[in-house]
Structure 1
Amino acid sequence: MNTTLADVLGTVESLWPESGAEPWDAVGLLSGDPAAEVRRIHLAVDAVLDTVDEAVAGKADLLIAHHPLLLRGVTTVAETRYKGAVLARLIRGGCALLAAHTNADIVASGTSAVLAERLGLANLLPLVPAAGDPATGIGRVGDLAEPTTLGRLARALADVLPATAQGIRVAGEYDRPVSRVALCAGAGDAHLAHPEVLAADVYLTSDLRHHPASEAVENARVSRGPALIDTSHWASEWLWLDVAAAQLRDALPGVEVTVSDLRTDPWTFAVV
């Protein structure tokens, strides 16, 4: 029996329910015919021209991207603009597009949970628990199996994450003791003042801006607060793709599922 896009949508809903998405998010099916057959699924963090071309060249029937293509208001899908070009290439290539974003962040095997597990954190709890289910939510907080230093943790993280031009930025002393870790895969500066973050030895996230990071560092000097580790947004979420692919393969036997290795971090090199 053929697997249809509608079948895949049912599986995706069971894995990453749309009800778990933030109100501002734009998850779910963005383009494609639910009645179409799906034999190959390709996964990527971003639906950009390179990952779309990769999906179409690999004869994928569906591209699942973590980041929604149409998150913000769009007034044109002309092919002279990036989003229009992406949709046109997908439609011509017979490849549907689906986004699993914050609804894939909060689940037990979501982006932050995968990152925490790769770092070997134990006693994991959500940083911001989801309503009605304290086992799920945004971010994670946990304990290292053995205390280490901030510098050694950053080096261990470099071994876990794919390399990017930005590398890993750290605010804190190299030899600072670290045992309790709070983290949020993707952009997490909204949680810098969260009590669990303030009580941790280090907070690991992405896209930290100058002023929020500076304020957090200075507050830690006069009161309390964690050291900071800032990683590539793309890299921190890319780890989740392999877990998501394995879940899809288990749920959809006979459907080929591949993961993009393309680095879609927007920065290409750094000068120091």
Structure 2
Amino acid sequence: MPALAEYIAALEAAYPPALAESWDAVGLVCGDPAERVDRVLVCVDPVTATVDEAIERGAQLIVAHHPLLLRGVHGVPATTPKGRLVHRLIRAGIALYCAHTNADAASPGVSDALATALGLRSLRPLDPNPDGVTGIGRIGELPEPEPFSAFVERVAAALPRTEPGVLGAGDPDRPIRTVAVSGGAGDGYLAKAAEAGVDAFLTADLRHHPAGEHLEAGGPALVGVTHWASEWPWCAQASAVLSHAVAGTVDIHVSTRRTDPWLVRAGGGAQPDPVPREHIQ
């Protein structure tokens, strides 16, 4: 049975902590590197649902994308939500390791997993680091051009279902061949996508004003998905990293529990006048 330290070494080789943003909190949150681990849960969010799942499966390690303790804390009392999770993890003998912006920037990383799920090829960074290989986001090409409406359907078919679904902003008939993607909140990269001359940009957490101004300026069509859905494909990638790196028979499970916070969707409501087709970018 491999030690936790072997899993950490594999993760840090694939997702070097040096690639993390200065404000980020990555690495081992709790756990003893000398402890033996033969069951692992890989997930996007270290929250109650995934801690429950790890306990149910008898896992000794959770590998999560999002940090549990991103902002500084002065304690982890069990009277707070995050402190309660830390206490549950320690009592159950479960280590927690988080790979966040280092996994975003790595090659391959979060956006590679997203791009591959969509069938994009010839990938390169959207916002490259000086090495030209690592960096945030990816740009890739579809095998053949397709209408924007078909591309939005492609996204919906490739990613896990969420209540908000997949939203597209742009001319439904616009041909799409070159696509930029950025897993997680990516409207800070709208200008990069426009500069790259891509046909469409897919990311999460798009805000009204930046998205609207981007389209008014003639930028690429936009596809908006939920934060969790955009990063979930990375879980399989991280699972493969561990499977290939650690010796022995281990059970590495990708969580399918939806930890997206949006769980209820209402339809209907007042219908404003439709925007004329010629006014759609």
| Counterpart residue number, 1:256 | 251
| Residue 235 of structure 2 corresponds to residue 237 of structure 1 | no
1:205 alignment partner in structure 2 = 203
Partners in 1 of 2:255 and 2:190 — Cα distance?
31
Q: How does 1:130-209 map to 2 (within 5 A)?
A: 130-131=129-130, 133-194=131-192, 199-209=197-207
Which of 68-77 and 186-195 deviates more? 68-77
Instruction: Call closer, same or farther: CA 1:123–1:226 in 2, change over 3 Å.
Output: same
Q: Following the alignment from structure 2 to structure 1, what is the Cα–Cα distance between the partners of residues 29 and 37?
A: 16
Q: 1:96-107 counterparts in 2 under 5 A? A: 96-107=95-106
Is there any run of 5+ residues in structure 2 with no aligned partner, and where?
268-281
Shifted more, 87-96 versus 195-204: the winner is: 195-204
Whichever residue aligns with residue 111 of structure 1, its letter is V
**Conserved 8 A contact 1:191-1:197:** no
The code of the aligned residue for 1:180 comes to T
Describe the SS at the equivalent of 1:193.
Answer: helix
Counterparts of 1:103-114 in structure 2 under 5 Å? Answer: 103-114=102-113
Q: Which moved more, 1:155-164 or 1:79-88?
A: 79-88
CA distance in 2, matches of 1:122, 1:207: 24
TM-score by length of 2: 0.91
Identity of aligned residues (%): 49
1:74-117: CA deviation from partner (whole Å, max 9, x where unpaired) = 24422232111111110110001110111112222211111111
> What CA distance in whole angstroms lies between the structure 2 residues aligned with 1:198 and 1:10?
35
Q: CA deviation at 1:198?
A: 5.5
Deviation at 1:29, TM superposition (A): 0.3
Shift of the 177–248 alpha-carbon distance from structure 1 to 2, 3 Å rule, reads same
CA distance in 1, matches of 2:132, 2:78: 44
Q: How far, CA to CA, are the matches of 1:16 and 1:196 in structure 2?
A: 28
Residue identity matched to 1:144: L
Change (3 A) 1:110 1:143: same
- Aligned to 1:134, what secondary structure does the other structure show? coil
* 2:266 paired with 1:268: no
**Partners in 1 of 2:191 and 2:177 — Cα distance?**
19
In the alignment, residue 96 of structure 1 is paired with which amino acid? A
Report how far residue 196 of structure 1 moved.
5.2
Are the counterparts in 2 of residues 31 and 97 from structure 1 also a CA contact under 8 Å? yes
Are the counterparts in 2 of residues 127 and 196 from structure 1 also a CA contact under 8 Å? no
Secondary structure (helix, strand or coil) at the match of 1:114 reads helix
For structure 1, list consecutive stretches of 5 or more residues without a partner in the other structure. none
Q: Deviations over 1:107-152 (max 9, x none)?
A: 2221111111122222211001123x21221100112110111110
Other structure's SS at 2:18 match: helix
| Structure 1 letter corresponding to 2:189 | H
Cα distance in structure 2, aligned partners of 1:78 and 1:216: 44
The within-5 A match list for 1:61-100 is: 61-100=60-99
Structure 1 outlier segments of 4+, above 3 Å: 195-198
Contact 2:239 2:253 in 1 (8 A): yes
Which residue in 1 is equivalent to 2:118? 119
Once residues 151 and 253 of structure 1 are traced to their aligned partners in structure 2, the CA distance between those partners, rounded to angstroms, is: 45
Three-state SS of the structure 2 residue aligned to 1:182 is strand
Give the Cα–Cα distance (whole angstroms) in 2 for the partners of residues 198 and 19 of structure 1: 26
CA contact (8 A) 1:18 1:103 kept: yes
Structure 1 209/75 Cα, relative in aligned 2: closer, same or farther at 3 Å?
farther
CA distance in 1, matches of 2:167, 2:193: 23
The root-mean-square deviation of aligned C-alpha atoms, in Å, is 1.4
Give the equivalent residue in structure 1 for 2:275: none
Q: Deviations over 1:53-80 (max 9, x none)?
A: 1111211111011000111232442223
